[in-house]
Each structure stands twice: as C-alpha cells, then as structure tokens.
Amino acid sequence: MTVESVTYINTLDENRPAGGDKISQGDNHIRNIKRSLKETFKNIDGEVRATDEEINYLVGLTGPLTGSIQDLEDLQKEVDLKADKTYVDAQDKVLDDKIEQLATDGAADIINLQGQINNKADKSYVDGQNASQDAVIGTKADKSYVDTELGKKADKSYVDTELAKKSDKSATYTKAEIDVLIAEANKGGGMIKVVQQPATAGDFSVQGREQTYGAGVGVGAGITKTLVVPNGTVFCFEYLFGVGGSGGTLRVDIDQIYIDGVRIYPNSQGYIDYTSSGGAVWPGNDKSSIIRVEEKIEIKSMSCYTSSGSLYLAGFFAEA
C-alpha cells in the first residue's frame, strides 16, 4: 500500500489505508496520525476543557485576541475626549461588558462602537461654538445697566406734577395783554413735521400747485369723492374748492361734507356751485385755520353737469 505524506490534520487522506493494503505499513499510518495531531496543536501542552460550542465562538477572529482588546481600550480613550460626557459615563459599564464578551462578539462590536464615536460632537468644536456665543452675548447691553439709565430719566408723573405747581400766569396779565398773546400765537401756528407727500390718497392725487389734492368729477348725480389719510400721518386741511369746466357746473352740498366720519353741517340747505370760472371756497376763505384730519374727508352726493369737473382739497400731509 501507499503511505501519504502528512503534515497537518487536513492533509490526512480518509481513504487510506485501503482494504487490500499490507498490514506491515500500518505503523506508518499511525505515525502520520500522531504527526498531524502534534503539528496542528503544536502549543497544546496541557488539558483542554473547552467544548465544541466554546471553541466555535472563535470563528471569525482573524488576529490575536489581545490586539482586539487593545483596540477597545484605545476606543475608550477616544470616547472620553468627546463632549457628551454624561452619555460616555453611562456607556462605561457597557464598554466593560463589551470587553468581557469580546470573544463571542468579535470585530462587529468594534465597528459598532466606532459608529457611536463618530456621532459625537468633538469637544474642541463645542468649545469653539460656546466661545463664539459668549462673544456675541458680551456685546449686548446688560439689563442692570439699562435699568440704571432708565432710572435717570424723569418720570412723566413727576414732570406733570411739577408743571401743575407752576402758578397760573393769567393773573399777571391784563385782558388786553392776553388778547395780544393769543393773536401772536395764532399767527405762528403749531409746530408740525412734514412727511413726503403721497402721490395718491383715495380718489385724490397730488396736483403740485398750491399744495392741493384734486379729483376729477364726471357727469352725474349722487357722486362721492373720498380723500384717505395713510397710516402714520394726518392731513392738514385748509379749504375746498372746485371747477366746473366746459360751461357746466359742479355742485357741492355743504351738508354732505364729512371729516373723520363727522357730518360737519347736518340739515344745512346751502351749496356751492363751481363753474369754469371757479366759485367760493369752503370753509370761509383760503386763510382759515388748518383742520386736522386723521382718517378721511368725504364729499358726498355731488351733482355734476359737465364732463370735466374737478374738486380740490388744499392741504398737506404731516407726521401723526
């Protein structure tokens, strides 16, 4: 019979010796079995108590077990540097268990831990972000400073009280002197802050002459034209006038004039007819007092007998 050349268990030929081989070569086969066992388990010099299941847990390991444990210890150091310290502390127990179970869990646990580490914010990044926020906060006014500065301002009630303490000056002037003071005050008028004049205000548009806003009026009866005051402004209304044009007449009923919803002369029978040559102004004359309009001026129920009638409101817009 032929004796095979054997080094390790996997080189043993299970089909040898054949049934017809010589018994005298049996010792060679027995020596092959001993040689393959000793070469395969070269470092076994004592009793081995591991079961087949325990030995099978080592399937998949491609390197020394001590090296894998060192990898886990390196990962532990990297986890400790991450910003979420609370989470890392909670994982200490898990990491200890992972080390103990490394023989059964193998390299898959290392990959899983690496993924957890990658999800953590780097501590240096978090510290940088905190420093940036602190710099922004440092530019803000401290509340105590603001409160102190406000405390330096005079309280309105204090000012009102102090003004009330002032003596009434009327007793120090004669009636004639007071009349002069009133007359001088009326000449000067109140102080106002003019704003940029809007191009349109309801049915009216700026005319660019004598500070007026005009609206065209066509033939018809029961006609209404409205000037609307924009938000944040008031209209300083001086007077109203109109023009008939083309030989016709524009009629304005005095009892149909409304300012901020107030009907100025209810039940009045008066009206003004405007022809191509003009007509009377309302109220009174073009030197009357300025009327403060906060919402709108409505001229209702007009009648127009010309296709080219026009209605004008003299005045300008100012800051409310």
Cβ(209)–Cβ(286) under 8 Å?
A: no
Cβ neighbours around 57 below 10 Å, total: 15
pLDDT band at 281 (very low <50, low <70, confident <90, very high): confident
Q: Indicate whether 240 pLDDT > 60.
A: yes
Would 101 be classed as within a structural domain? yes
**Residue 287: predicted pLDDT:** 61
CA distance 241 to 127: 74
pLDDT digits (tens, 9 = 90+) for 72-124: 788 888 777 776 667 757 777 887 777 777 656 666 666 776 777 777 767 78
Would 213 be classed as within a structural domain? yes
Q: What b/e string do you get for 65-94 counting C-beta neighbours within 10 Å, with b at 16 or more?
A: eeebeeebeebbeebeebbeeeebeebeee
Would 84 be classed as within a structural domain? yes
> Domain check: are 26 and 111 in the same one?
no
How much is the mean pLDDT over the chain? 80
**Residue 33: predicted pLDDT:** 92
Would 141 be classed as within a structural domain? no
Q: What is the mean pLDDT of residues 271-299?
A: 84
Q: Is 105 or 250 the better-scoring residue by pLDDT?
A: 250
Q: What is the CATH number of the domain that holds 208?
A: 2.60.120
Structure tokens at 195: 């704003």
The residue segments making up the domain with residue 95 are 65-118
Cβ neighbours around 256 below 10 Å, total: 19
Number of residues assigned to the chain: 320
Would 154 be classed as within a structural domain? no
Q: Which of 268, 158, 286 is nearest to 211 (CA)?
A: 286
